[in-house]
Amino acid sequence: MSDPADSPIFLGTMSGTSLDGLDIVAVKFLAGDKPELLGSHYIPYPESLRQALSELIGDEAATLSKMSETDSRLGHFYAEAILNFIKGCDIKTPQITALGSHGQTLRHEPDLEHAYTLQIGDPNIIAAKTGLTVVADFRRRDIALGGQGAPLTPAFHADVFRHNQLNRVILNIGGIANITILPADVTAPVTGFDTGPGNTLLDLLSRQFLNQSYDSGGVFASQGKINPNKLKDAIDHEPYFRAPHPKSTGTDYFSATWLQNSGILALTPADAMATVAELVATTIASAIKNLEITIDECFICGGGVHNQHLLNRLQTHLPKVKLDSTASLGIDPDFVEAMAFAWLAKQTLQQQPGNLPKVTNAQKFTILGAVYY
C-alpha cells in the first residue's frame, strides 16, 4: 500500500437542489481504505444569490443574459469560498490534485427528444481564481449516451458503503430524494434513482408559512394532521411516482407550481406541512418496498437526515428496515455528496468511468466531466 502521506488530495463541492448553499470538502483517497475527510465546510448562499437562483429555476422564460450573468456570479462566489476554505485547512494548493465542482442545477430534462441538463457556476472562473485543476460538467456526457445524467453518487456509494452480507440502501434526502441500492450479492448490479421530492416542497412551505428556510427538525410538520385525501390525490395524479426506473427529476419539476396544482395548499399551514412530509416519506418508502430485493439497512445522508419528524414517518412505513445516518458508517451525512464529487474528479483524472449504466440507463460506462486547467 502506498504511503498515506503521498495519497492524492481532492476537493469536492456540492450545491444541492435545496438552494441553501455550498458544501466543500477536502478528501484524501487511500488505496484499499475508506476516503479520509481532511476538512469540510458549509457556506450559505447570500439571500440575494439564493433568490436569483430560485427565480431562474422557477421562471421557464428566464433570459439567456440573466442565466449567463448568474453563472459568472456563482463562479466567483464558489472561487472565493474555495480559497477561504483552503486557507482554513492545513492544506497547500500544490497538494491538491483537483477540485470536483458539481455546480448548481437550473434545469434537468433527460426525457425530452433532445435531452439536456444545466448546471451553472462557471468552472473557468473557479480555475482562474484558485489556480486549481477543476473538473466540472459531470452530467452531460451520460445524457449524451442516452442516460438520465443522474443520480451520479451511486458509484461512490458502491465504492465506500457496500456490504457483502446485507442488502443496503443509501438514501440521500436533498431537495430531491434519491436512493442507491447496494445488494449484498457482489455479482448483482448496483442500481439507483430519484424517488421524487425530498426537502424542496417542505422548504417552499417553510418559507411561505414560517418565513424560515426550513422546518427545523420537522417540528411544525409534526404539529399538523395528515390529510389522507389530499395525500392520495397528489400521489395518484403524479405519474413520476409510478414510472419505472432508471429515472431522475429536479426541483424545476417538483416546484411551487407543482405544489399549487396538488391542492395541498388549501389545507391549514400545519396540515399542509404534515401532508407534504407524509408524501415525501410515503414515496421514498414505497420505492424501497417495491425493490426486487428485501432491504436490511437504510443509511441516510443529506439535509433531510436532520428532519426527525420525516425520519420517524419513514420508520413507520419501513418497520423492518434498520434506519441510520451514514455517520454510523464513518462518513458525515452532510458531506457525502461533496465527497462523491471529489471522488468523481479523481475518476475523471484517472480516466476511469464515473457513471453506472444500470442507474442512469446510459449506453455504456463513460468518463464524466470536463477538465479546466
The one-letter code for the residue type at 71 is D
Please report, for residues 55, 56, 124, 345, 348, the alpha-carbon distance to residue 137 in angstroms, rounded to integers and kept in the order given: 22, 19, 11, 11, 11
Write phi, then psi, for 235 (nearest 5 degrees).
Answer: -75, -45
- Cβ neighbours around 39 below 10 Å, total: 17
Domains with residue ranges and CATH for the chain? 4-149+335-372 (3.30.420.40), 154-329 (3.30.420.40)
DSSP summary character for residue 58 = H
**Degrees, nearest 5: CA angle 316-256-305:** 35
Do you know the residue count of the chain? 373
Cell readout for 31 is 488505496
The closest of 128, 133, 64, 134 to 103, measured between CA atoms, is 134
- Give the pLDDT confidence score for residue 2 in this predicted structure: 43
- Residue 58 is predicted with a pLDDT of 85
How high is the pLDDT of residue 249? 95
* Mean pLDDT calculated for residue range 118-147: 98
Q: What is the pLDDT of residue 16?
A: 86
- Is residue 28 helix, strand or coil? strand
| Three-class secondary structure of residue 311 per DSSP | helix
CB-based contacts of 364: which residues, under 8 Å, 6+ apart? 145, 357
What's the pLDDT band for 6 if we cut at 50, 70, 90?
A: low
Q: What is the mean pLDDT of residues 133-137?
A: 98
Phi, psi of 369 (to 5 degrees): 90, 170
Calculated CA dihedral for residues 158, 183, 193, 336, nearest 10 degrees: -30
What would the mean pLDDT of 109-137 be, rounded to a whole number? 97
For 144-167, what is each residue's pLDDT tens digit?
999 999 999 999 999 999 999 999
- What pTM did the predictor assign? 0.94
What sign does the dihedral 44-45-46-47 (CA atoms) show?
negative
Q: What is the amino acid identity at position 54?
A: S
CB 206 within 8 A of CB 180: no
Amino acid, single-letter form, for residue 252: D
Residue with grid cell 442507474, as numbered in its chain: 359
Is there a contact between 202 and 195 (Cβ–Cβ < 8 Å)? no
Q: C-alpha grid cell for residue 119?
A: 448546471
- CA dist 295 → 186, 318, 323, 335 (Å): 15, 10, 11, 24
3-state DSSP call for residue 87?
Answer: helix
Given pLDDT bands bounded at 50, 70 and 90, which one contains residue 37? very high
DSSP E strands, 114-160: 116-120, 134-136
| pLDDT the model gives residue 1 | 39
Instruction: Report residue 357's pLDDT band, with 50, 70 and 90 as the boundaries.
Output: very high
Spatial distance between the Cα atoms of 352 and 354, rounded to a whole number of angstroms: 7
pLDDT digits (tens, 9 = 90+) for 232-274: 999 999 999 999 999 999 999 999 999 999 999 999 999 999 9
Side by side, the strands of the sheet bearing 168-173 are 191-197, 176-182, 168-173, 297-301, 322-325
* Structural contact between residues 25 and 11, judged by C-beta atoms closer than 8 angstroms: yes
Residues pairing with 109 in the sheet = 116
Closest CA to 121 of 79, 84, 178: 79
Mean pLDDT of 170-179: 97
DSSP bridge partners of 118? 107
Which amino acid makes up residue 205? Answer: L
Q: pLDDT tier at 17 (50, 70, 90 boundaries)?
A: confident
For residues 282-292, average pLDDT:
98
> Within 10 A of 358 (CB to CB), how many other CB atoms are there?
16
What average pLDDT does range 12-39 have in this prediction?
91
